[in-house]
Structure 1
Amino acid sequence: MTFRRLVAALVTGVLATSLAACAGLPMSGSVNPGLDVEDEAANPDFAFLPDRPQAGATPEQIVDGFLRAGSGTNDDWATAKLFLTTAFREEWAPDAGVTVDAPGQRDITETGDGAVTATITPEAVIDGDGQYQTLDTGESSLGFELEQEDGQWRISAAPDGIVLDRNVFPRVYHRYPLMFFDPSWQYLVPDVRWFPTTNAPARIAQELVDGAPSAWLAESVKTSFPDSVSLASPAVPVDGGIAQVSLTQGALSLDAESLDRMQTQLTASMQTASVAAVQMSVPTQVLDADTVSTRSTRISGAPLVVIDGVLGFSTGSQLTPIEGLSDAMETVEPAAVQVSADRETAAVLLTDGRAARVGADGTLAVVDERAGLVAPSIDPLDYVWTVPRGEPTAVVAHSADGIALEVGEAWPGAVQVTAMLVSRDGTRLIAALRGGESSWVAAAGIVRDDTGAPVRLGEPVVLGELPGAGVGLAWLDDATLAVLSSDDSGPVVVEQIVGGTQSSSDAPAGAVAIAGSTSAASLRLLDDQGNVSVKRGVTWTTVVDDVEVLASQQGSPE
């Protein structure tokens, strides 16, 4: 059974305990926190060189050495293959996926003549396409068969894929965002994948050109690569920082706009693999293409706050209002505010619990009067998104002309939604959810019609568990969230990669609201005493006081 086929088996509760000829690696379960974000960001300056099999090694030692050799990705896991019989080396697929297990908890036992079982505690899996999923399945067993070859024990049957412990994984695999376009072709949207650092440009090109967006995101983004074009060569040599991507002849029939968008996707996707530029070609010639201009989702400016009823950017003791919008905001009593990228509109939760749209032209429209609304969010097409805390499936998007659209298939299985946020590019909806005694953060793609109107959400994906109820959500960048969570021990800030790992740190006592900026270093928190803090090293420092509302921004004016 292959790595991918085992996903279905585990979803139905069947845990693989058979031998490799009939089993793969575990791929389902509830969610638990993964690796620290900091552990995966830095590029290593070394490659693992695992030990080769030793003469006279027992079956258990051979299996142990084989598992450890999964860290050696050079030459298609050449060292790991030395632990296999000559015949099985051609069958084993190391790049089928990765199981990340808990360090120091492997138990390798010979269960019969030439049969060995390795018991591990999986914490996450990465499938053959590089997609990450955290796990909490408890112990899992992997079966191996061995036989004598030239007087030495060698593995003749094993699961596809490799096993890496949590401490080794971030030094062997890194995250690389595949860049797709939003439906309007204005924004680049990251789809985070995890690949070995030794061959990252080739894997990025393979998944971008010949692959597809992750299933949960596929209906919400576009790719410029048509089915008629594929990689002409799996190799992507990089010379002087320039990656050479060879495509099939179908690329010659594409128009300049399509080629430029392809160039843009490849160039942006490979930046994190130390690639400065991309040159596309077909076997007969180099393709002439340039990158296209895309809209940025970065935000600028000092903390955006409401003080004495006035909305503005706080710099020192000065409050700088937003032209038009700040005057309009003085006509309402806000409990939460999110400002559109062009700063022409604000989605506002009023102190009486209603949601409203406030315009810089002085217009005010109450869009939702349902009880128990969480803070609303506004997208690039000026839709204001609302949902009641106790009705997670009752998501509504309100257009600028007053039409309320029920967004179907939202957050199945959740009992409560405690915070909700649209991505700055308008392709994804994020929610902090609760069910039973569990809290988690989830993402879903926003499916729109040809006019840009939201129709429904794609199937949600759980990103990670939260230590307590989610109080607020904020974007740090297009692929990283900050979640303010609170339980009996106090508030915590959770950094969650959309499609990856999670880390957490303490928040100031009494933290009640969160706003993002361009990095974790500029994250802002509001406490119940009206103080806005930012993190300086390991300490939270107050930068503004007497704040009534900490507002968030969905981008900056172009």
Structure 2
Amino acid sequence: MPDNGDLRGVENTPRQDTQVRVFAVPPRDDAAPPDIVQGFLEALTSDDPRYETAKLYLTPEAARDWQPEASTTVLADGPATTADPAGGREDGTEYSFTLTGTRIALVDEQQSYTPVDGDYTRQVHLAKDRKTGQWRIDGLPQGVVMGQSDFQRNYTSVDKYYFASATATGAQPAVVADPVYIRRRVDAMTQMVDSLLSGPTTWLDPVVRSSFPSGTALKKDATLAPDDQNTLTVPLNDRAADVSLTKCNEMAAQLLFTLRTLTPAVDQVELQSGGGRLCSLDEDGADAVATRGSAEQPGYLYFLDGDHQLVRIPASSKTTTAEAVPGTLGEGTRELRSVAVARDENQAAGVGLDGKGLYVSSLTPQEQPPAPLVVSQGKTEADRLTAPSWDLHGDLWIADRDPKNERLLLFPDGEGDAIHVATPGLDGRIESVRVAADGVRIALVVSDGEQQSLLIGRIERESKPGEAPSVTVREMRSATPQLSEITTMSWAGDSRLVVVGREKEGVQQISYVQVDGSSPETAAPDALTGVETIAASEDEHLPLVAYSEDGIVRMGSAAQWQKVVTEGASPVYPG
């Protein structure tokens, strides 16, 4: 450090992008048909924003009709090319190739990821231009295709946010994450906003709403980048010109929540339309507009002590000294096997040690032990109640595994009579239930014989005057198609879960998965032996906690497991 001399200003050095960039190479003159096909496939994996170089490998008509944004097919390896001997003409002016591979995923036109399997087989046809003598592709499948490694390099998963449709009167709305894949180095911020404005994906659409008026889009040729004050100005078309201030603030909140998953460089957004400024909002303002699960920090971590009573320790503390929870579940005589604490941490639910009864108690001193809300008639513990789970509305979920009366139950406000939740299309028995913080998605571990699956379902609520409310879990889709056995799972973010399970004939492993079935870029936690229960918070700053053969352990700041208590079980964060 200099100890004399004058002060001089210096310019900031921009952060260098260490990612490898791939530039497409145009076709060389007189390239043979195999080189044309290979060059085209390589151009699909480049960072060319509009695939202009890839289109140089096509005839003008094929380039006009080809829609690369229609889909992205992901193969285990890059597509293999095989010349089709029956695909040419005797005069040597036509040629045909077959592209083959093993499919693992499909990203559709909404940028939504879906795991798929099976063989990939598509035809590519080439023709020789009579005037130039150059080979070009004149027939090809819509969309793009690439291997898994190229997909991981080119694309990144981001969450866009919409408001949950089912919101109690006067309550702050919750935002729901809708994960999509965008091209990593092709003006990602503009892509992200475009995707948000286009609306939610088909799967999530029935249970969310957007505050952007229908038809709202960015102004033509708009490119988004924050200024040196970390403010992002978003110019919208005239469809948004007449929105109210309240609606505009909701629009800005959606943008801020969405952009947080892409970059920390945006602290405030300003919306413009109709030639003027609509509104501006910062991060504190966004948190006042809506609640987001990962922004709600729990006060405590809860678990059962050696006497099967509910105890707790501060969630963000490194202490290992637990205190009994006030109320009959912590200070009473009933022994428990599993628990769940409401998200407001004012009440808790527990299942008795034999798995038969579900009990709810407030977290305040009580004299009278509660009566069970439901009693399972299953003959064995494995055929009785699962662990309970609370949703954002304060409703309590649980499944009864009795083979004679398998059912998913919902207790409004954690009391009264249960609502039998419909699960159309579900094959198998529910073994575990976890509701997302947003209250519109649910994770279910379902067994069908020896096979187990982690399914993500969409919660639809319907209430008609004079009729009892109905709740249905629809369109359940697998988040772990590679696993055949699932021991435990927990939500670990707005669109991410942590799962303990094993592949067929494999060993137990802990991994993170996205709700769409893709693998996040987050590194998997260190291995842990004999895990029976795992707990994570949607607030990703809180440590991962597990119950294993070593007792209750948590992931320390050095990313290593550290023992909390030896005598204890069933750790949970609120929810």
Q: TM-score range by the shorter chain?
A: 0.7 to 0.9
Q: Is the 8 A contact 2:212 2:240 kept in 1?
A: no
Contact 1:72/1:80 (<8 A) preserved = no
Return the match for 2:191 from 191, 203, 215: 203
Aligned to 1:22: none
Q: Which residue of 1 aligns with 2:386?
A: 374
Residues 326-359 of structure 1, C-alpha deviations (whole Å, 9 max, x = no match): 7655343111111112111112222121222222
| Partner of residue 453 from structure 2, selected from 412, 416, 440 | 440
Cα displacement string for residues 114-163 of structure 1 (whole angstroms, at most 9, x for unaligned residues): 211111222111011110011121x2111111112322211111111111
SS of aligned partner of 1:238: coil
**What SS does the corresponding residue of 1:522 show, helix, strand or coil?**
coil
Equivalent residue for 2:156, pick from 169, 174, 177: 174
Cα distance, 1:95–1:228 mapped onto 2, change above 3 Å: closer
Q: Is the 8 A contact 1:178 1:269 kept in 2?
A: yes
Deviates more, 1:46-55 or 1:293-302: 293-302
CA contact (8 A) 2:300 2:312 kept: no
Match of 1:178, SS state, is strand
**Between Structure 1 and Structure 2, how many residues are aligned?**
509
SS in structure 2 of the partner of residue 464 of structure 1: coil
Cα pair distance change 1:466/1:152, threshold 3 Å: closer
Distance 1:87 1:238 in 2: 35
Q: Are the counterparts in 2 of residues 531 and 543 from structure 1 also a CA contact under 8 Å?
A: yes
Aligned equivalents of 1:181 and 1:159: distance in 2? 36
Match of 1:215 among 202, 218, 223: 202
Please tell me whether residue 192 in structure 1 is matched to residue 179 in structure 2: yes
SS in 2 for 1:47: coil
1:66, distance to aligned residue in structure 2 (A): 0.9
Shift of residue 288, structure 1, vs aligned partner: 1.9
CA distance in 2, matches of 1:409, 1:327: 31
1:473 maps onto 2:484 in alignment: no
In 2, Cα distance between equivalents of 1:317 and 1:541: 10
- The structure-2 alpha-carbon separation of the partners of 1:217 and 1:236, relative to structure 1 and needing over 3 Å to count, comes to same
Amino acid at match of 2:348: A
Distance in 2 between the 1:239 and 1:533 partners? 38
1:431 equivalent among 420, 441, 444: 444
2:259 pairs, out of 261, 270, 281, with: 270
**Greater radius of gyration (CA):** 2
CA distance 1:454–1:180, shift in 2 (3 Å): farther
> Are 1:360 and 2:363 counterparts?
yes
Q: 5 Å matches for 1:294-333?
A: 294-297=290-293, 298-300=296-298, 303-307=301-305, 308=307, 309-313=309-313, 315-322=318-325, 324-325=326-327, 328=330, 330-333=332-335
More relative contact order in 1 or in 2 (CA 8 Å, sep 6+)? 1
Residue 534 of structure 2 is matched in structure 1 by: 514
- The CA deviation at 1:282 is 1.4
Q: Would the alpha carbon gap of residues 417 and 455 (structure 1) be closer, same or farther in structure 2, given more than 3 Å must change?
A: closer
Q: Who is 1:404 aligned against?
A: 418
- Specify the code of the residue in structure 2 equivalent to 1:364: P
Alpha-carbon distance in structure 1 between the residues aligned to 2:49 and 2:550: 58
Instruction: Give 2:276's aligned residue.
Output: 285
Q: Structure 1: any 5+ residue segments left out of the alignment?
A: 1-41
Q: Distance in 1 between matches of 2:324 and 2:211?
A: 41
Q: Counterpart amino acid of 1:143? A: Q
Q: CA deviation at 1:477?
A: 0.9
Contact preservation (8 Å) 2:343, 2:394: no
Matching residue's letter, 2:77 = P
Distance 1:339 1:385 in 2: 12
Q: How far 1:533 moved relative to its partner?
A: 4.2
How far apart in 2 are the matches of 1:450 and 1:224? 23
Structure 2 residue ranges without an equivalent (≥5): 1-15, 89-94, 379-383
Would you say 1:154 and 2:136 are equivalent positions?
yes
Partner SS, residue 561 of structure 2: strand
Query: Is 1:115 aligned to residue 99 of structure 2?
Result: no
Distance 1:521 1:164, change over 3 A: farther
CA distance in 2, matches of 1:396, 1:331: 26
Matched with 2:69 is 95
The Cα of 1:480 is off from its aligned counterpart by 0.6
Cα distance in 1, alignment partners of residues 201 and 18 from structure 2: 27
**In the superposition, relative to structure 1, how do residues 466 and 63 fare at CA in structure 2: closer, same or farther (>3 Å)?**
closer
Is 1:250 aligned with 2:239?
A: yes
In the alignment, which residue of structure 1 is the partner of 2:381?
none
Match of 1:144 in 2: 124
1:548 aligns with 2:569: yes
CA drift of 1:505 comes to 6.2
- In structure 2, distance between residues paired with 1:506 and 1:238: 38
Aligned mates of 1:345, 1:165 — CA distance in 2: 49
Give the match for residue 499 of structure 1. Answer: 516
Structure 1 SS opposite 2:532: strand
CA 1:466–1:346: 2 relative to 1, 3 Å: farther
Q: Which amino acid aligns with 2:407?
A: A
Deviation by residue 1:214-234 (Cα, 9 ceiling, x = unmatched): 233222222212326444436
* Residue-by-residue CA offset, 1:59-78 (whole Å, 9 max, x unaligned): 22211221111112424012
Aligned CA distance change for structure 1 residues 304 and 271 (closer, same or farther; 3 Å): same
Match of 1:19 in 2: none
Amino acid at match of 1:181: F
Secondary structure of the residue that 1:215 maps to in structure 2? coil
CA distance in 1, matches of 2:83, 2:333: 72
Mapping 1:8-47, distance limit 5 Å: 45-47=19-21
Q: 1:260 and 1:538 mapped to 2: Cα distance? A: 39
What amino acid maps onto 2:121 in structure 1? Answer: S
Partner deviation per Cα, 1:251-303 (whole Å, 9 max, x = no partner) = 23222111100111012212333351432211421212434313342434564
The CA deviation at 1:438 is 3.1
Within 2, Cα distance between the matches of 1:456 and 1:306?
A: 32
Q: Aligned pair 1:383/2:386, yes or no?
A: no
SS of 1:374's partner is: coil
Give the TM-score normalised by structure 1.
0.83
* Aligned pair partner of 1:338 in 324, 340, 355: 340
Output the CA distance in 2 between the equivalents of 1:499 and 1:120: 22
Moved more, 115-124 or 441-450: 441-450
Of stretches 157-166 and 480-489 in structure 1, the one that deviates more from structure 2 is 480-489
The letter of the residue matching 2:423 is E
Change (3 A) 1:551 1:242: closer
Q: What's the RMSD between the two structures over aligned residues?
A: 2.9
Counterpart of 1:74 in 2: which secondary structure? coil
State the TM-score, normalizing by the size of structure 2: 0.81
Kept after mapping to 2: 8 A contact 1:482/1:494:
yes
| Matching residue of 1:61 | 35
